[in-house]
Every structure is written in structure tokens, then in C-alpha cells.
Amino acid sequence: MQKTIINTAGAPAPIGPYSQAVQAGGMLFISGQVAIVPATGELVTSSIQDETIQVMENLAALLKAAGCGFQQVIKTTIFLSDMALFARVNEVYATYFTGDYPARETVAVKGLPKNANVEISMIAVIP
């Protein structure tokens, strides 16, 4: 099976030895995204809602680079620094889908890169 590395300036450059996304076998695997603004490299910290919006916009850029959209997402994983953020992250997350929601798990973790509060990864099907 052939794999294709997906890179875009519309999402933050990797901060470690991984790819932004990998396309293989009709699937797209997007690495976890935190709220780094691609143009500046700065982490959005103004609110959990703003942080989540930036994460979702980073994911949108990667989906677009692979010729996909949120309607092709079949699985997401959300990592939170604190489960108390769950409802506010969910409010923002839900606005990016049209009711045909992907499978998902949400877990609280001890820490995230750059001390972020939310990180989201996705799996999508390539149309």
C-alpha cells in the first residue's frame, strides 16, 4: 500500500518527528493538532473556545489539503487537560459538523504539547 505525506502551510509545522497527515489506502490520518497559529507559531490561550476554534481550523486546513472536509471524518480523538473543559470544547466542535457525527473518544491527560488545553486528531475517508 502506498502512502502519501500531506503537508500544508495552513496548519502548524510538526514539532517532532511526525507528519501533519498521512494518506493511505483511501484513508487520511491526521496527527493531533493543538491551537498553534500557523503564521506565528504562537499558541492561542485567550479562552478554551478560541483554542478549540484554532485546533479545528488547523484540522480543516489539513482536510482541505487532502481534498476532504469534515463530512469525510469518520473518527476523532480529543485530548483535554481537564474534563471540566468538555462541555465548552464540545460546543465549538459540534459547529464543524452537520449532524452526521464521527465516532469519537475524549480523554483527560496529564499534559499536552506546549501546555495546550485541547488536542484533536482525526481519521477521514478520501472521497
Is pLDDT above 90 for 90? yes
| pLDDT tens per residue across span 10-66 | 999 998 899 999 999 999 999 999 999 999 999 999 999 999 999 999 999 999 999
Task: Please tell me the predicted confidence (pLDDT) of residue 92.
Answer: 98
Task: Please tell me the predicted confidence (pLDDT) of residue 80.
Answer: 98
Q: Which residues of 32-71 are buried (b: 16+ CB within 10 A; e: fewer)?
A: bbbbbebeeeebbeeebeebbbbbbbbbbbbbebbebebe
Beta bridge partners of 25: none
- When pLDDT is cut at 50, 70 and 90, the band that residue 94 belongs to is very high
Is pLDDT above 90 for 127? no
Task: Please tell me the predicted confidence (pLDDT) of residue 1.
Answer: 82
Intra-chain end-to-end CA distance of the chain, in Å: 18
| pLDDT tens per residue across span 105-122 | 999 999 999 999 999 999
Nearest-5° angle of CA 53, CA 59, CA 60? 85
